[in-house]
Amino acid sequence: MVVGKPYLTVEQIQTKNLQLAGRISNDYEGKDLLAVGILKGAFMFFSDIVRLIRVPLVIDFMIASSYMKFDTSGEVKMHYDIMEDVSNKDVLLIEDIVDTGITLNYIRERLLMKGPRSLKICTLLDKKERRQVDVSIDYIGFEIPNEFVVGYGLDYDNKFRNLPYISIFKKTV
């Protein structure tokens, strides 16, 4: 199994993060932003983007999993839920990638039950072709084809998360 050369370089990711953070900063002016990172995958994107957002915010995390190596198990497990009170908060969920949409849909519904003032979603990557559940996403970094990617937080079997760029992961024969 090999990890190829960058599919999205450090520079491309940084440029995109700046653009997304600019839009988010404008949209959340005068609001009460609670940025929620979905771990583990979003840890790098989350830490980069919150540093670029220019409005006050508080952070929290959720840990959810549905993936078994290459494919989703279809069942979402919640390992850690947010600690912050979301009433009077404008919640922005920050994800690494939306694939089938099953994970995000589950997280979104769970959060909505807590009654936030608003709820929006930001994802770095969107693998639209694979969508099974329709979730509307407010901020999308890159739309990518149906390829398995690793790096910049994304993993295969919990590995390659530390790559600073995003690469297409190929299984060799």
Q: Which residues are known to be catalytic?
A: 99
Residues 55-114 that bind ligand IMP (CB under 6 A): 66-67, 72, 95-104
In the complex, the smallest distance separating the C-beta of residue 107 from ligand IMP, rounded to whole angstroms, is 9
Is the distance from CB of 50 to CB of 57 less than 8 angstroms?
Answer: yes
> How far is residue 69's CA from residue 17's CA, in Å, rounded to a whole number?
27
41 binds ligand IMP (CB under 6 A): yes
Closest by Cα among 90, 136, 135 to 116: 90
> How far is residue 148's CA from residue 169's CA, in Å, rounded to a whole number?
6
148 binds ligand IMP (CB under 6 A): yes
Which CB atom, from 15 or from 132, has the smaller least distance to ligand IMP? 132
> How far is residue 150's CA from residue 169's CA, in Å, rounded to a whole number?
6
Count of residues for the chain? 173
Give the contact letters, 73-112, x = binds to Mg ion (CB under 5 A), - = no.
-----------------------x----------------
* Binds 154: which of ligand IMP, Mg ion, none (CB < 5-8 Å by kind): ligand IMP
> How far is residue 164's CA from residue 44's CA, in Å, rounded to a whole number?
9
Among 6, 37, 41, 116, binds Mg ion (CB under 5 A): 41
165 binds ligand IMP (CB under 6 A): no
37 Cβ contact partners less than 8 Å away, ≥ 6 residues apart: 43, 46, 59, 60, 61, 62, 94
Which CB atom, from 26 or from 73, has the smaller least distance to ligand IMP? 73
In the complex, the smallest distance separating the C-beta of residue 55 from ligand IMP, rounded to whole angstroms, is 25
> How far is residue 173's CA from residue 170's CA, in Å, rounded to a whole number?
9
* Binds 16: which of ligand IMP, Mg ion, none (CB < 5-8 Å by kind): none
Binding residues for ligand IMP, rule: CB under 6 A, are 41, 66-67, 72, 95-104, 127, 148-150, 154-155
